[in-house]
Structure 1
Amino acid sequence: MEKFTVHQGTPMPIMNDDIDTDQLLPKQFLKRLTKRGYGDVLFYEWRYQADGVTPQENFILNEPARQQASILITGDNFGIGSSREHAVWALRDWGFKAIIAGSFGPILYMNCTKNGVLPIELEQAARETLSELPPTAKVTIDLVHQTVKCGALSWKFTINPAWKEKFLKGEDDIDQTMKFADQIAAYEAQMSPYQ
């Protein structure tokens, strides 16, 4: 997992509430065995016409001015539905480093923390302000101070201290477990194989 301390990027507003994991990444793409290569199918059914190839002209992910966006601004209940870690892989693969929502589906929230996409909850007024910014606006997320800033505007957010530490250090669950490799090996060495 990459370290996340401060990120400056441009916003991508998709202000719908109740975006579920099937809308983020439809089930037909869950057969892949790697964590990469999903960015082109993120929001697949919203992004492409019925032929699955021709882009929908009016969908924001297809706008040339938004192609470098790295901060998704969205509504309430983002990522509800089934546990679909692939959906977070698609968000990350597209280039999103953070998602700012009113609230998250709890499973998607956890999947974000495990895959290096920072989930941030902000109130509606802040998200509406961020959603109205032009595509070139620079938004800064400072995880150390837990702020989202754009120009003179600033909002505070909260995050579980353990998850914050994981992001700041760039450590996933396996990295954190491996810190105890010596203790684990010592414990296993003292165990009888026939207990």
Structure 2
Amino acid sequence: MRLLIVDDDPLVCRSLQLLLVKEEDFEVVNTAGNGQAAIEICQLELPDVILMDIQMPVMDGIECLKRIKQQWPSIQIMMLTTFRDEHNIRMALKAGAEGYLLKSTSIENMAQQIRALKAGSTILDADVLKAIVEPDGIKLAGLTDRERDIVELVAQGLSNKEIADQLFLSAGTVRNMLSIILDKLELRDRTQLAIYYWQR
């Protein structure tokens, strides 16, 4: 898996690079100190996943995220930051980020979350979830109680198998129900579903 690390702190970039390359399935293709540099690197080294800070000079992470998603929608982006405020989290998810982790996350957990992100899961750190005002008794029009349960677990970043285990269903049933949910809500994929949930 080809990774690009984007952070205006050279020490953070170097530390993450040294730690992540120890994972056999990871290759850090480059590092960048701002969003503009990240876009230039993407033109040369098409990474699979980008770990990106939010607050950076020249071009911040949110603007960079928007531009990369417009030009290379297949690149998956994990926002990696010290910020826990609700506004930044929502902005990142709305702009198309597939994940949001805090820099305090252990490298072992970060590696696992990057793999889960690449496999199609939406990743939200537990502390990040706490930063969002959790919708109380969320109303998702037209969905059954079980479908609402599935939406909530998708929004928490669980895979189909994890949802199936938690709700005592088969993975195939979860997959079919998820397709029905997406059709009902007129959404494209589970990332949009997670954003839809947290925006409400």
Where on the TM-score scale, by shorter chain, does this alignment land: which range?
0.3 to 0.5
TM-score, normalised to structure 1, is: 0.36
Report which structure shows greater RCO (CA 8 Å, sep ≥6). 1
Q: More helix per residue: 1 or 2?
A: 2
> Of the two, which has the highest radius of gyration?
1
TM-score, normalised to structure 2, is: 0.36
